[in-house]
Amino acid sequence: MATTRTLREVVRRAALRTGLGLTVGMLTGGMLSVTGVAAMGDLLAQPDNAITEGAERVARQAARVQRLSERYDCSRTGLGPHVIPARTIVLVRDHVRLATFDEGWAIHEGVERGTLVAVCAR
């Protein structure tokens, strides 16, 4: 029996599976934001400058997700019943980028490495 998982669950599991140690949260407009840094044990073991660099990287990723979400009408929870997704936002090797729906779906299915962050209407 197939199970239906929300995009939030998929992103959370993929982040854990890939060892990114990122937590996923929502911004007020329902857009997805990556808010976190390395797992707590890794965080404590890092020198101060590495923690700062990690926090800055995560902030840049969150800002990019927000910009792409606004520009391409993306949602972390899926689109309306009659809307066919045109693109996706993915996180691959610490880079947030726009991808084709096929690539995003392959990431969602675990065929490709990365994390599916959102689906986009445009």
So what's the pLDDT on residue 26? Answer: 34
Closest to 54 measured CA to CA, from 33, 39, 32:
39
pLDDT at 42 over 70: no
Answer yes or no: pTM beyond 0.75.
no
Give 4-40 pLDDT, tens digit per residue.
455 555 545 544 444 443 333 333 333 343 433 334 4
The pair of structure tokens assigned to 14 is 């993929």
Q: Report the alpha-carbon distance of residue 98 to residue 119 in Å, rounded.
A: 10
Q: Is 117 exposed, middle or buried (0-12, 13-18, 19+ CB in 10 A)?
A: buried
Whether residue 116 contacts residue 10, with contact meaning beta carbons closer than 8 Å, is answered with yes
Distance, C-alpha 98 to centroid of its chain: 11
Give 53-105 pLDDT, tens digit per residue.
788 888 899 999 999 999 999 999 889 889 999 999 999 999 999 999 999 99
So what's the pLDDT on residue 46? Answer: 57
